[in-house]
């Protein structure tokens, strides 16, 4: 029996007592954004050098005066934060275990991606797992697969049929389609669904309140993200906002994860503390390091990095990594400062017309970093 001590979960000492004074300017920016209807509700958490300096909620679930107010325990639709937190984590663990080779052609894991009669066979055979993680596969950004397919298998067949728009490795285009295919690759390697793998290997060890497809009994306690969609003609609350993920049953590699703010913080703290107890430090550094190809790409293996201009603002270090989510979520981590900033909102309520969060995020991050 192995009696070696197991790495512990990174601890966070709560020091939020002076958050109202220290982060007054940042809090005011969020309140002003709510007043301008950039989003109805939000949660903000700031962790710095092992201390939780801020954890605050704002607004309401909707713009109604009697709508519920979010709490620390409120689950938010993380949207594309699913990519780095769930999918990239699964890729990291399979890589560490020698089951995923980053430079291996995807077709070696998933032959259906490159059928012999495909006119793009030569290109498809060049696509690697690393290219899917770094959005350089040549696949386009998005297709409304839900209009032609229902069910995980059918959506994946439709995703595999989408033509590449560029030679693999020649350019960076942020692609949900690439992650849908990546999710199938990872599940094929693990012989296990993404949600089951992540629950056992990522969420449970870190004691995270994260889940795919919350139980219907919890839906009313989750901020809604849409009044209706062209695919689901109803209020979207407690169900994933992304229609392709919804068509897949709510569990997808590109979207579908729900979490409270402190769980996102704890996941970030794991990465910033060297990966324990989940990952080796070398793996964290590999997956969060900006790629060198294609030229000028801001992407890592699952994450984004600060660019000019950046939603992270102007003060995060060049080694920082982060990600955004369509519903108005974001996580930015700075390993030089040992800092993470989590912002969760439902900016897509009642629709996605407001772009006010794009002005808020850089100003918010600068206001926070200016007070550390």
pLDDT (average), residues 182-202 = 98
pLDDT in tens, 123-179: 999 999 999 999 999 999 999 999 999 999 999 999 999 999 999 999 999 999 999
What residue spans define the domains of the chain? Answer: 13-76+216-224+258-369
Give the torsion sign (CA, 286, 242, 224, 28).
positive
Ranges of H-type helices in the chain: 19-22, 24-35, 82, 88-96, 106-109, 121-124, 129-133, 152-160, 176-190, 194-198, 243-247, 261-272, 281-288, 357-369
Residue-by-residue DSSP string for 79-109 = GGGHIIIIIHHHHHHHHHTTS--TTSBHHHH
Structure token pair of residue 142: 């998005």
Count of residues making up the chain = 372
Structure token pair of residue 337: 């400062």
The CATH class that applies to domain 13-76+216-224+258-369 reads alpha beta
Residues 6 or more apart from 5 whose CB is under 8 A from it? Answer: none
pLDDT in tens, 98-123: 999 999 999 999 999 999 999 999 99
pLDDT recorded at residue 9 = 77
- Kindly tell me the burial class for residue 265, based on how many C-beta atoms sit within 10 Å of its own C-beta (0-12, 13-18, 19 or more): buried
pTM greater than 0.75: yes
Q: Is the link from the previous residue into 309 a cis peptide, with omega within 30 of 0?
A: yes
């Amino acid at each position: 029996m192995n009696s070696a001590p197991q790495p512990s979960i990174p601890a966070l000492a709560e020091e939020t007592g002076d958050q109202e004074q220290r982060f007054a300017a940042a809090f005011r920016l969020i309140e002003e954004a709510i007043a301008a209807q950039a989003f109805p509700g939000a949660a903000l958490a700031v962790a710095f050098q092992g201390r939780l300096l801020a954890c605050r909620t704002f607004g309401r679930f909707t713009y109604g005066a009697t709508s519920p107010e979010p709490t620390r325990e409120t689950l938010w639709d993380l949207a594309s934060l699913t990519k780095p937190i769930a999918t990239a984590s699964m890729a990291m663990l399979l890589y560490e275990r020698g089951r995923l080779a980053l430079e291996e052609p995807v077709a070696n894991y998933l032959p259906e991606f490159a059928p012999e009669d495909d006119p793009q066979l030569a290109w498809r055979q060049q696509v690697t797992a690393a290219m899917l993680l770094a959005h350089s596969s040549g696949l386009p950004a998005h297709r409304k697969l839900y209009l032609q397919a229902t069910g995980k298998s059918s959506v994946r067949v439709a995703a595999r049929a989408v033509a590449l728009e560029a030679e693999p490795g020649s350019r960076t285009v942020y692609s949900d389609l690439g992650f849908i295919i990546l999710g199938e690759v990872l599940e094929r390697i693990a012989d296990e669904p993404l949600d089951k793998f992540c629950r056992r290997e990522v969420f449970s060890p870190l004691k995270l309140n994260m889940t795919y497809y919350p139980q219907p009994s919890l839906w009313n306690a989750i901020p809604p993200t849409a009044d209706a969609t062209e695919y689901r003609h109803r209020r979207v609350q407690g169900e994933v906002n992304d229609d392709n993920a919804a068509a897949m049953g709510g569990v997808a590699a590109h979207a579908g994860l729900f979490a409270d703010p402190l769980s996102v913080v704890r996941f970030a703290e794991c990465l910033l503390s060297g990966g324990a107890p989940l990952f080796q430090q070398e793996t964290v550094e590999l997956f969060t390091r900006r790629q060198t190809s294609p030229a000028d790409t801001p992407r890592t293996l699952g994450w984004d990095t600060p660019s000019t201009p950046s939603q992270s603002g102007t003060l995060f270090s060049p080694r920082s990594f982060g990600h955004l989510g369509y519903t108005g979520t974001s996580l930015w981590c700075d390993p030089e400062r040992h800092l993470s900033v989590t912002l969760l909102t439902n900016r897509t309520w009642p629709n996605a017309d407001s772009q006010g969060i794009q002005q808020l995020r850089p100003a918010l991050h600068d206001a926070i970093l200016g007070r550390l």
